[in-house]
Structure 1
Amino acid sequence: MIGTVLEALPLPYPDAVVVVGTAVVGFVAGALGPLAVLRRRSMFGDAMSHGTLAGVAVAFLVTGAKVPELLLLGAAISAALAALAMIALERTARLRPDAAIGVVLSVSLTLGIVLLTHIGGSGNSTQAGLNTYLLGQAAGMTERDIAIALVLGAVALAVVVMGFRVLRSATFDPGFTAVAGVPTWAVDLVSTGLLAMAVVLGVRTVGAILMVALLVAPVVAARQVTRRLSALVPVSGLVGAICGATGGVLSGRAELPAGPVIVLLVTAVALASVTFAPRRGVLARLRGRRAAFSEEPGR
């Protein structure tokens, strides 16, 4: 099925793989982004993405092979450990959320860079390419990577659909969720797991440093055109998919790394949406204020 889609695109095979892969990753990240943005956990996701570096390095050290599935498993475990560390620091050490995020982010990134530097100096020829997890390398994607992203993305989105009411309630009215008998820790666990899955899928394409932008920027853009969460999720996913595919094409034509190009593109879309959105944009609000000011008595 993937091969058929790739052949149908009017692009060379390597470019088609990048376009489809970045579109899938962009859609999944954009659709799951509201779990971070609306619950004020954007930097939470950033710290998790930085934590994936150490997991990739440890997975390679343990297995001695650069198998994508094993590296992604290591990234997922380290992202989950980073999330648990932040929660533990908040609840046991009584640190403010921003302080806990800062500690985990800096420590996990430092550990990842140290491990990758150690691996790079070990003389192991199979380690070539591990540094691409820092800033991403969409050009190295394969059909197997797309298949993995589709399967994991489908699982994550299925969880969102089935638990949509609970997630919506926990986002906008956590007190009601607790009264209704749904444990807050369970909701936090599920949402954190979904964020970890989005981070792990995107870290190979966009990189650990820039992944948070692919989670946040599509949501910022989508929020300017819709107020309903049921519409926000697919619209945000669509923005991420379009920017991912477009960035993949542009980066290939300009011979630039795909991750930074995608991030710049999705950020530009978010800024344009914030500025020009018909009802909630900056210009629309300015026009509304001017109209209200001119209609005041005596004006």
Structure 2
Amino acid sequence: MIDRLLGALPLAYPDAVVVVGTAALGFVAGALGPFVVLRGRAMFGDAMSHATLPGVAIAFLVAGAKEPGTLLAGAAVAALLAALLLIALVRSARIATDAAIGVVLSLSLTLGLVLLTHIASTGDSQQAGLDAYLLGQAAGMVERDIALTLTLGALALTAVVVWFRLLRAASFDPGFSAIIGARPWLVDAASTGLLAVAIVLGVRTVGAILMVALLVAPCVAARQLVTTLAALVPLAGVIGAGAGVAGGVLSGHAELPAGPVIVLLATGAAVLSVVFAPRRGVLARRRRGLAREPGAAAGPPQGVLR
């Protein structure tokens, strides 16, 4: 199936692999992003993303080989440990959330750089390319990466569909989700797991530093255009996929790194949406403000998400 899809594209095989892979990643990250943004966990995700770097390095040191599955498993474990550490610092040590995120993020990045430097100094030829997990290397994608993204992404999105009502309640009213019998720790675990899936899938393509932008930017762009979470999730996915496709094509023609190009395009879409969205954009709000007569009562809020 993947072979036929790649063959149907009017692109060289390596470019087709990058475009399909980044499109799949962009859709998964974009669709999962609203559950990060609406719960105010963007920087939480950033800390988890940075934690994948030492996870990859430690997995390489333990396995002694650059096997993608092992490295991604190490990244997933490290991301989840970072999430647990953040929760412990905030709830048990009573450290402010932003301070806890700063501690975990800086610790993760520093540890990752130290470990990568140590690995590079050993002269092991197997370590070549590990630094790509810092900023991503979409050009190194193969069909197995596409299959992994599609499989894990499908599982994550299926979980979103099955538990959509619960995730929506937790995003807008955590107190209500507790009243209806949903245990807060279970909801937190589910949302953190979904976040970990998106981060682990994207860390090799977009990189540990930029991955959070691919979660946030499509959501910001879509948020200006729709008024329901049920519409926000797929639209953010489509915007993320579009950025992935355009970034994959442009990076191949211009010989630029795909990850940063994809993030720039997604961010550009967010900026355009914030400014030009027909109902919630800056210009639309400005026009309504000028058209409103002095002393007239303000109308209902435009585009309140529900």
TM-score range, shorter chain: over 0.9
> In structure 2, what is the equivalent of residue 184 of structure 1?
184
How many corresponding residue pairs? Answer: 297
> In structure 2, what is the equivalent of residue 128 of structure 1?
128
Q: Distance in 2 between matches of 1:282 and 1:6?
A: 40
Letter in 2 for 1:13: Y
Letter in 1 for 2:80: A
> In structure 1, what is the equivalent of residue 61 of structure 2?
61
Q: Distance in 2 between matches of 1:17 and 1:293?
A: 56
> In structure 1, what is the equivalent of residue 290 of structure 2?
290
Letter in 2 for 1:282: V
Deviation at 1:181, TM superposition (A): 1.1
Asked if residue 43 in structure 1 is aligned to residue 43 in structure 2, the reply is yes
* Aligned positions of 1:102-113 closer than 5 A: 102-113=102-113
Asked if residue 258 in structure 1 is aligned to residue 267 in structure 2, the reply is no
Q: Which runs of 5+ in 2 are unaligned?
A: 298-306
Letter in 2 for 1:42: A
> In structure 1, what is the equivalent of residue 275 of structure 2?
275
> In structure 2, what is the equivalent of residue 203 of structure 1?
203
- 1:223-280 CA-to-partner distances (Å, cap 9, x unmatched) read 0001101111100000000001100110111111111111111100000000000000
- 1:4-55 CA-to-partner distances (Å, cap 9, x unmatched) read 0000000000000000000000000000001110000000000000000000
Q: Which runs of 5+ in 1 are unaligned?
A: none
Letter in 2 for 1:71: L
> In structure 2, what is the equivalent of residue 233 of structure 1?
233
Q: Distance in 2 between matches of 1:285 and 1:64?
A: 57
Letter in 1 for 2:269: V
Q: CA RMSD in A?
A: 1.1
Letter in 1 for 2:203: V
Secondary structure of 1:226's aligned partner = coil
Tell me which stretches of 4 or more aligned residues in structure 1 moved more than 6 Å: none
> In structure 2, what is the equivalent of residue 161 of structure 1?
161
Letter in 2 for 1:243: A
Secondary structure of 1:33's aligned partner = helix
Q: Distance in 2 between matches of 1:141 and 1:283?
A: 41
- 1:182-225 CA-to-partner distances (Å, cap 9, x unmatched) read 10000000000100110000111100000010000000000000
- 1:84-123 CA-to-partner distances (Å, cap 9, x unmatched) read 0000000111011111101000001100110011111111
> In structure 1, what is the equivalent of residue 9 of structure 2?
9
Deviation at 1:293, TM superposition (A): 3.4
Letter in 1 for 2:20: V
Q: Distance in 2 between matches of 1:96 and 1:237?
A: 32
Secondary structure of 2:226's aligned partner = coil
- 1:152-187 CA-to-partner distances (Å, cap 9, x unmatched) read 000100111100000001111111111111100000
Q: Distance in 2 between matches of 1:97 and 1:35?
A: 18
Q: Distance in 2 between matches of 1:89 and 1:293?
A: 51
Q: Distance in 2 between matches of 1:78 and 1:40?
A: 21
Deviation at 1:295, TM superposition (A): 8.4
Q: Distance in 2 between matches of 1:220 and 1:92?
A: 32
Q: Distance in 2 between matches of 1:296 and 1:87?
A: 47
Q: Distance in 2 between matches of 1:169 and 1:190?
A: 13
* Aligned positions of 1:72-111 closer than 5 A: 72-111=72-111
Q: Normalized against structure 2, the TM-score is what?
A: 0.96
Q: Distance in 2 between matches of 1:113 and 1:190?
A: 30
Q: Distance in 2 between matches of 1:81 and 1:249?
A: 35
- 1:35-82 CA-to-partner distances (Å, cap 9, x unmatched) read 110000000000000000000001100001111111100000000000
Q: Distance in 2 between matches of 1:256 and 1:120?
A: 24
> In structure 1, what is the equivalent of residue 21 of structure 2?
21
Q: Normalized against structure 1, the TM-score is what?
A: 0.98
Question: Identity of paired residues, percent?
Answer: 69
Letter in 1 for 2:268: A
> In structure 1, what is the equivalent of residue 224 of structure 2?
224
